Amino acid sequence: MAIRNWLRLRGINRRKIREILYHSIASKWFLTPYFSPQQRDAIVRTGDPVRYGAVSLAIEQIIRNQVYGSLAECGVYRGSMSKFIHDRIPDRPLFLFDTFQGFDKRDSDTASDNRFKDTSVEYVTDYIGDTHNIIIRKGFFPDTTSGLEKERFAFVMIDFDKYEPTKAALDFFYLRTNPGGFIFLHDYRNPESDWACSRALDEFLDNKPEKPILIPDGLGSAIFRKV
């Protein structure tokens, strides 16, 4: 209470107070035992330290357990997660799937959804910097998986927001993810599009041995590790 009152007296609004306290708690209690000060600072700066911290730990497990395979991100937007992943495991191919111009009208519930248009391939690659092992797959998913039928994966981040591409991504990557590999699905606890992401994952895993583990990041990600 004393910290909150001190911040409020200095004109910092409630939302900013929550952000400051959240980052402080995450930095001190969640991240400190697992990461160096430099790694911790980088994760906190992302604005979603729980999700980025979980991704970092998953990549560490992939390396430690020698899980073979490439990496993929579905739903790139402006490349913040792409850069974060690539910086931690630059020796693996990282496939980036996105229209790089917002939602494709062929997916449901997109006619009036104009988010994520303020990006481009050039913006993302410039932001990532070192583009060695970065493979851009621009266009409508799953059409952009053509030619990757024999590819194997160790890590997949699915952040498509909509039901159809999320389900298509699960269909494609599950069979091609090696045992011990991780699949992350963002927006699991996001109610938009009638809980599109949680519906897609729950339906997909209904007859599978894997079950989702939820983490309390922004909009609630679900994670499962391939058996």
Task: Quick: pLDDT tens for 68-94.
Answer: 999 999 999 999 999 999 999 999 999
Same domain, 27 and 135: no
* pLDDT for 16: 58
Instruction: Provide the pairing of β-strand 177-185 with 153-158.
Output: parallel
* pLDDT for 108: 81
Which tokens go with 183?
Answer: 């699949």
* pLDDT for 36: 74
Same domain, 219 and 154: yes
Cα dihedral across residues 175, 87, 213, 197: positive or negative: negative
Same domain, 59 and 166: yes
Quickly list H helices, 46-188. Answer: 49-64, 80-88, 121-128, 163-174
Percentage of the chain with pLDDT > 70?
81
Condensed to tens digits (0 to 9), the pLDDT of residues 91-110 reads: 999 999 999 999 998 988 88
* pLDDT for 2: 59
- Pick the more confident residue, 41 or 107: 107
Taking residues 129-143, report their average pLDDT: 97
- Pick the more confident residue, 152 or 22: 152
Which tokens go with 68?
Answer: 């073979």
* pLDDT for 187: 96
**Mean pLDDT in the chain?**
88
Cα dihedral across residues 173, 103, 136, 86: positive or negative: negative
* pLDDT for 11: 62
Q: How many domains does the chain have?
A: 2
Give the list of residues 6+ apart from residue 52 with CB closer than 8 angstroms, or none.
43, 46, 81, 84
Residue 34, pLDDT > 70, answer no
Same domain, 87 and 20: no
Residue 8, pLDDT > 70, answer no
Residue 22, pLDDT > 60, answer no
Structural domain harbouring 51: 36-225
User: Facing residues of 190 across strands?
Assistant: none
Same domain, 10 and 47: no
Query: Could you tell me the CA-to-CA distances from 154 to 16, 44, 75, 134, 205 in Å, in that order?
Result: 36, 25, 17, 15, 18
Instruction: Provide the pairing of β-strand 70-74 with 221-225.
Output: unpaired
Same domain, 89 and 105: yes
Q: What is the DSSP letter of 143?
A: G
Give dist(CA 52, CA 55) in Å, integer.
5
- Name the strand (E) or helix (H) holding 118: none
- Name the strand (E) or helix (H) holding 159: none
SS3 20: helix
8 Å CB contact between 180 and 226: yes
Cα dihedral across residues 77, 83, 85, 89: positive or negative: positive
Same domain, 18 and 46: no
